[in-house]
A and B are shown apart, each in its own frame.
Chain A
Amino acid sequence: MDQSSSSSFVDTSLDLTIGVTRMRVKEDSTTSALVDELNRVSAENKKLSEMLTLTCENYNVLRKQLMEYVNKSNNVTERDQTSPPKKRKSPARDDAVSSAVIGGVSESSSTDQDGQYLCKKKQREETVVKEKVSRVYYKTEASDTTLVVKDGYQWRKYGQKVTRDNPSPRAYFKCACAPSCSVKKKVQRSVEDQSVLVATYEGEHNHPIPSQIDSNNSLNRYISLGDYMAPAKGSSSLAEPVTESKKVTSPSRIDIPEVQKLLVEQMASSLTKDPNFTAALAAAVTGRLYQQNQTEK
């Protein structure tokens, strides 16, 4: 029995085929593997597509939020700059405070004036609501924490604020030289350098420089030399940023020759005080004379 049962498991086939069946089996297994791989990659593809769609949606939502936030902060800034102060003091008190502040800073600036140096002026004139906006950088002492810039005009402070997103305090001023003048000024310390005050002017003065201010009040004096603002030390007349004097557009109210004379005096004074300019001028003159002598010979 055992022998007969064992003999029944012996493969007695001769296997005379030419291998077509084996190849077919191999091909079938390859095809099924390919199909599996295709299914797997397609599923992965689908997941990735879903992730991409989701991420794009999130990105767009975030971008929209950012745009809204930026617009909102811009609107708030504009509103703060244009709206009148909520708690306004009486004009007399304002003038007193203003003059007191001017006096205080004048003293400090007179001692610090030598320390104030050429400061680069980045005048970026932006057309915002048809108003000229200029930005002037003033160098101050690091210990000076006031937000007062002496530019020759009288200003009435009407606000100061600090926000979470912009912790650097900024003060808002309005020109007090003439009631009809609508020039506003924002003063803020530079983020990069705390000793630099950034004054942003909006609008155009419709009046001349206040001539009643004494020339020896040691206000900060700046003249524009191309892209730079240079302090005009000890000039005999009150100076103002040339950028602002250029913006004056009502000649009927302003004595133009007087302003020009003032500017010329100021520039001459500042240039003659500048040792570099004197040296450069001397070098130029001597060079010219030397050339003339050479040609005559």
Chain B
Amino acid sequence: KDKSASELREELNRVYSENKKIKEMLETVCEKYYALHHHLE
């Protein structure tokens, strides 16, 4: 509540960046998972 707008923007950017990284990791893991699943089939 006490944070200023600039601080909030900075925090928001940080969370955006983290979000992007998680999405990339998730995408990679999903690809590997489906490849493995396909291999098992």
Binding site for B on A (CB under 8 A): 27, 30-31, 34-35, 37-38, 41-42, 44-45, 48-49, 51-52, 55-56, 58-59, 62-63, 65-66, 69
Instruction: Say whether A45 contacts B33, CB under 8 Å.
Output: no
Q: How far is the CB of A67 from chain B (nearest CB, A)?
A: 11
Question: What 5 A-B pairs have minimum CB-CB distances, sorted nearest first?
Answer: A34-B8, A48-B22, A59-B33, A41-B15, A55-B29
Closest A residue to B11 using CB positions: A38
Chain A residues with CB below 8 A from B23, complex form: 48
- Bound complex: CA A29 to CA B9 (Å): 14
Name 23 A/B residue pairs within 8 A (Cβ), A-sorted: A27-B5, A31-B3, A31-B8, A34-B8, A38-B15, A41-B12, A41-B15, A44-B19, A45-B22, A48-B19, A48-B22, A49-B22, A51-B26, A52-B29, A55-B26, A55-B29, A55-B33, A59-B29, A59-B32, A59-B33, A62-B37, A65-B40, A66-B40
- Bound complex: CA A42 to CA B11 (Å): 10
- Bound complex: CA A63 to CA B15 (Å): 31
- Bound complex: CA A58 to CA B33 (Å): 8
Q: Which of A34, A49, A52, A66 is within 8 Å of B12, CB to CB? A: A34
Chain B residues with CB below 8 A from A38, complex form: 8, 11-12, 15
Chain A residues with CB below 8 A from B25, complex form: 52
Q: How far is the CB of B21 from chain A (nearest CB, A)?
A: 10
- Bound complex: CA A207 to CA B29 (Å): 55
Q: How far is the CB of A72 from chain B (nearest CB, A)?
A: 13
Instruction: Say whether B12 contacts A45, CB under 8 Å.
Output: no
Chain B residues with CB below 8 A from A63, complex form: 36
Closest A residue to B18 using CB positions: A45
Instruction: Say whether A52 contacts B19, CB under 8 Å.
Output: no
Closest B residue to A34 using CB positions: B8
Instruction: Say whether A34 contacts B22, CB under 8 Å.
Output: no
Q: How far is the CB of B37 from chain A (nearest CB, A)?
A: 6
Closest B residue to A42 using CB positions: B15
Supposing A62-B40, A65-B40, A66-B39 touch, asked if A56 and B29 sit within 8 A by C-beta, the answer is yes
Q: How far is the CB of B33 from chain A (nearest CB, A)?
A: 5
Chain B residues with CB below 8 A from A55, complex form: 26, 29-30, 33
Instruction: Say whether A48 contacts B26, CB under 8 Å.
Output: yes
- Bound complex: CA A28 to CA B33 (Å): 46
Instruction: Say whether B18 contacts A35, CB under 8 Å.
Output: no
Chain B residues with CB below 8 A from A27, complex form: 5
Q: How far is the CB of B20 from chain A (nearest CB, A)?
A: 10
Chain A residues with CB below 8 A from B30, complex form: 55
- Bound complex: CA A65 to CA B36 (Å): 10
Q: Which of B3, B5, B16 is within 8 Å of A30, CB to CB? A: B5
Q: How far is the CB of A164 from chain B (nearest CB, A)?
A: 13
Chain A residues with CB below 8 A from B19, complex form: 41, 44-45, 48
